[in-house]
Amino acid sequence: MEKLFTVAYLSELFVGAHDDIPKQFELIWGHIKVLLVVPFLRIFMYINLVMLIMLFTEMVYMVVVVTTNKLFGKKPEHRYKFEPFEDDAELGSSVYPLVLVQVPMFNEREVYQLSIGAACRLSWPSDRIVVQVLDDSTDPLIKGMVEMECQSWASKGINIHYQVRDNRKGYKAGALKEGLKHDYAKQCEYVVIFDADFQPEPDFLTQTIPFLHHNSKLGLVQGRWKFGTAGVWRMAALDEAGGWKDRTTVEDMDLAVRASLKGWEFLYIGSLMVKNELPSVLKAYRYQQHRWSCGPANLFRKMIFEIMRNNRVTLWKKLYVLYSFFFVRKIVAHIVAFTLYCIVIPATVLIPEVMIPVWSTIYIPTIITLLNAAGTPRSFYLVVFWVLFENVMSLHRTKATFIGLFEAQRANEWVVTEKHGDASRVKTETQHTQPRFKIGERILMLELFVGFVLFGCACYDLAYGKYHYYVYLYLQAIAFIIMGCGYMGNQVPNS
């Protein structure tokens, strides 16, 4: 290795090529490629193949577990005791436990009425439920509207409290933690949190609280968002786990992991759905994905030793949390999607000495795609577009994952996902009020750069390659360029 950089060795390379500068550089590059580039790329490829196998194994395991549970598993009401609450002739509504409903908000102009209304319409005795609106809004006009909405429901007999604080320390986790300090909150046995875009059905509490009330080991009962999960916490479990912490941007995951390490059990009810809103513009979706990718990686960094030292759970559970829950699903899954398909494959087009196994480029990716698509069979016709879009987003998620792992500058960045409420009304309004876009807000330079690199690799592969990677590379390059130009989402800025 040292010989490569000695003057004598370099002079040997130039024998017969003293007057041919391109030839000299070609010789130097050839030796550097053989001694450095090819070994490095081959090692990097093997690392990615290992990550791909880890992800594939985890997905197959999860599919087997979910399928087995659906076919042979017992329904929640058969696994846990469930008895609906009924009014007692003597005790009246006191047989119902006292429930706190927290609704954190931040400048939610479009959805505050929907979320407060949904919380106040929950089917539960009015004297056994407390609605707490935690308003961190910085816009005085919006704060006034939210307060008036709370007063309106209070005039109808709803026990609702409008709470504000003089700072946004800890963001949502800080607001939730502050809300639990009030005396009326401390009296509640259970607490449910609905984000500002949540619209639960009136029977949400009647379908969840009985599980907690009759099964003392349950700390959390989760329903399903139309796109995610929502749940009800036992206040004792929340307190024992240490309450809300603002050390990461995934405060709910942080609390859930800490509670599970205390021995509390969780129940997921997939049939119980809660309506909520998906991000409808690319900018909001990217901020959300940054938070959801960076936060778990940062939490893994901060909890790894805490989990290893825990003595209240089995070794198997600790391994499951560290390896399956965190490392594979929250780190490997984000990284390998980008590094393998957007770095290694294009690199091997330019460095054909490194050959990727067919099973890693065709068979396993196809199986993984089909397993993912099986969960939403009605959208199967979109699977190609979904794969291309997810690979583009993998760039953003990979960057966010490393930011979280190394706790870089944006590790604790919290940008509230913009919500639109009535999409049809917003579409009409934005046609008249949307300002002209700024080039820096629409053009994504990193996505464009990757897109053009992939496009160049595709052209090279078409001309000189032998593995036909150009079919995939052209499609993926177009996807990166389209997103890089801002043409994604249901609202495209006017030009």
Question: Which tokens hold the place of 264?
Answer: 């509390």
Has 252 been annotated as catalytic?
Answer: yes
| Buried-exposed string 466-494: b where 16+ CB fall within 10 A, e elsewhere | eeebbebbbbbbebbbbbbebebeebebe
Catalytic residue among 136, 195, 197, 461: 136
Has 87 been annotated as catalytic?
Answer: no
- Do the Cβ atoms of 102 and 191 come closer than 8 Å? yes
- Do the Cβ atoms of 452 and 459 come closer than 8 Å? no
SS3 268: strand
The sheet carrying 190-193 orders its strands as 160-163, 129-135, 99-105, 190-193, 228-234, 218-225, 265-274
- Taken in order 57, 62, 67, 72, is the CA torsion positive or negative? positive
Question: Which tokens hold the place of 318?
Answer: 């600790």
> Which amino acid does the sequence have at 81?
K
Rounded distance between C-alpha atoms, residue 184 and residue 159, angstroms: 11
Dmax of the chain from CA atoms? 106
Rounded distance between C-alpha atoms, residue 396 and residue 58, angstroms: 23
Rounded distance between C-alpha atoms, residue 296 and residue 300, angstroms: 6
- Do the Cβ atoms of 63 and 371 come closer than 8 Å? yes
> Which amino acid does the sequence have at 317?
K
Q: Decide: residue 290, CB within 10 A, 0-12 exposed, 13-18 middle, 19+ buried.
A: buried
Catalytic residue among 135, 195, 252, 461: 252
Give the β-pairing of 218-225 and 190-193: unpaired
Look-up of token digits 């993912």: 372
Residues with a known catalytic role: 136, 252
